[in-house]
Each structure stands twice: as structure tokens, then as C-alpha cells.
Structure 1
Amino acid sequence: MEGSMDALVCEHPAQMVHGAIEAQLPALRRFAQRLTCSLSDREDLVQETVMRALRSSRQFHANTQLRSWLFTIMRNTFNTEYRRRCREPVGLDDGVFERLSISAPQEWAVRRSELRCAIGRLPPRSRRTLLLVAMGVSYIDTARLCGCEIGTVKSRVNRARKMLEDEIGRPGTL
């Protein structure tokens, strides 16, 4: 009896952890349920917590509450995983690339050439006004550069867009 008592006293806390973790699984599952809704995520979280606890069982101190220690590991694991997921882009479902189609680049080159020619046929004042606005220059600055009123700039841009639409079609239609 005395020899077995010495064995218990000499037992390392890490060995105690290995045996006691199984008893804490129901509490870990309940705590995981509070953190995540998905059953599979919950089971993954419990499994990852147990794996981390076993790996770092040498760091467990005998005067520490095992349940609190495991809950801390689980919370930290959950937080780490949450932050990692926030940084990752949302994935696409399988086969989405097969369903996507891309227009041939030659078509875009032809459309760009048609647009360039159509812009060249615009009246010079309308062309200059449209190009300034298309480059991101504000209406006020465009009016200043063209030496006219803001209303005139808006009218020129509107007429130029209409002329282009009549000549080559609406944007986005091929």
C-alpha cells in the first residue's frame, strides 16, 4: 500500500492529465456548443483541444483546475481559428470554374477598337469633355478646363454617351 501511495505522489502531472481528459469530454462538448453552431465544427474543436492539451500536458501544473485549463485551450483554439477564417477569402464551390465562361480576348480587342473609332468621330468639344470626365476629372474641374458651365459639361457628356451608345450599342452587351 505504501509503495502504491508513493507511485501516486511521484506521478507526473502530465500523466494525470492523460487519464483525466476523457472525463472532461462532456464538459468540453457543452462548452464547444456555446462557441459554434455546427456539429462538425464542434467536434473538430473538441478534438483539436484534446490534441493540444495532450501535446502540452507537461505544462499542466498539479494545482491548476484541469477543466479550466482545457476550457482556456479551447477558447484560444477557437479564437485563433476564427481570426484565421476572417483572413481567408471565402472559397468557391467545386466545379464553379467549369461553369464560368470568359469571352474571347479578340472580341474585347474588336470592341475596344470600335469604341476608339467611335470616340474619334465625336465632335471635338464633346470628345474632350467625355474623356476628361471618364479619366476621373470632376465636373467642376472639367468645366474650368473647357471654359464652360457645369451644366454644359453634363450636357456634352450626356450627348457624347448617347452618340456612342447609338453607334456601338449599350455597355455590357455584345
Structure 2
Amino acid sequence: MTTLEFSYSLHKMSKSLKPFALKLTRDMDDANDLMQDTIVKAFTNKDKFTDGTNLKAWLYTIMKNTFITNYQRMIRRGTFVDTTDNLHYINSGDSLIENGAYGDFAMEDIQSAIAKLDDVYKTPFMMHFRGFKYHEIADKLCIPIGTVKNRIHIARKILKEELNVYKNKN
């Protein structure tokens, strides 16, 4: 296969590689980078491609291996070696360990805010929270489904206002 034919085949196959790249990376920019890396590697290694074999499978393999290599490189970059006598390997990523106190305070505030709701709003809201469907709530409470949706909406709105202190917290 000539360089021109190979280049044309690569260009034709690149459209089918895009969804796979997006599936691997889950990010459009990273998928575009992976696509570019794959095409560059394929072109630089075109002499390793055997004419008459499946080009698409070859490109998918290059893409998968490139993704794995990049992922492993990223993980290694976040790992450092402790040079003390223990010689532990420690991941120093963005992981954060919390003691749970913040979550306990938040949960108390949420439960308090729910307890303050009028029963008219609290009952359908809690039923929906527990997994009941709108029509099941309407049947149990003997009210129209539109009323159920409205009351749940109002309950959420009240809770959102009541708990706005947590709006930008993670």
C-alpha cells in the first residue's frame, strides 16, 4: 500500500474511531487528543501494517494501547516514593480523606429542614424520595397526579432555600 493510499484509508477510518475514543476518555478534548495520537502512531508505524489485514482493528488496537499507556503515565505521575525506611508507595492524587463530621452536620440540617415542611408537602416528597412513582403517590393519597408533582416541586423549592448554605459545597 502506498503512502497516499494508507493516508486516505486512515482518514476514512478516523470517522469510525471517534466514538471509541470518546467512550474511552469520556471527554471531547481528550478524545480528540487520543485520535490525533492514534493517527500519528499509525502513520509512523505504517510499515508494520500488513497489507490485506483489517486496518480498522489495527487502529482500534493502537488507540486502546495508547489510551492505556497515557492512563498509566498519568497514574505514575501522581505517585511518589517515600524514601524513609518504610519505602511505601503512596498515591498523592487529589484524594481527600474526611472524617465525616461535615456530612453528619449536613444530614442533621437536611432532616431538620424536611421536618419543618408542612405535611401536605412532606408526605408526597418523602414517598417520592423512598422510590414511589408519581402515580403511586397519587393513588395512595387520593389526589391528582398534577397535585403530587406540584407538591414535590414546592417541597424541593423550600428545601433548596432552606439549605442554600450547602449550595457550593462538595
The TM-score range, normalised by the shorter chain, is: 0.5 to 0.7
Separation of aligned partners in 2, 1:89 and 1:107: 37
What residue is the counterpart of 1:72 in the other structure? Answer: 52
Q: Alpha-carbon deviation of 1:143?
A: 0.8
Aligned ranges 1:23-172 → 2 under 5 Å? 27-37=1-11, 38-44=39-45, 46-49=46-49, 70-73=50-53, 76-82=54-60, 85=63, 94=74, 104=98, 105-169=100-164, 172=167
* Identity, % of aligned positions: 16
Question: TM-score, normalization: structure 1?
Answer: 0.51
Alpha carbons 2:41, 2:62 under 8 Å: kept: no
Alpha carbons 1:165, 1:171 under 8 Å: kept: no
RMSD: 3.8
Separation of aligned partners in 2, 1:35 and 1:153: 58
Separation of aligned partners in 2, 1:47 and 1:28: 10
Alpha carbons 1:28, 1:71 under 8 Å: kept: no
Give ranges in structure 1 of 5+ residues lacking alignment.
1-26, 50-69
Separation of aligned partners in 2, 1:101 and 1:155: 40
Q: Relative to 1, partners in 2 of residues 1:144 and 1:84: Cα closer, same or farther, differing over 3 Å?
A: farther
Structure having greater relative contact order (Cα 8 Å, sep ≥ 6): 1
Question: TM-score, normalization: structure 2?
Answer: 0.52
Higher helix share: 1
Q: Alpha-carbon deviation of 1:89?
A: 7.3
What residue is the counterpart of 1:23 in the other structure? Answer: none
Query: Alignment partner of 1:114: what SS?
Result: helix
| Pair member with larger Rg | 1
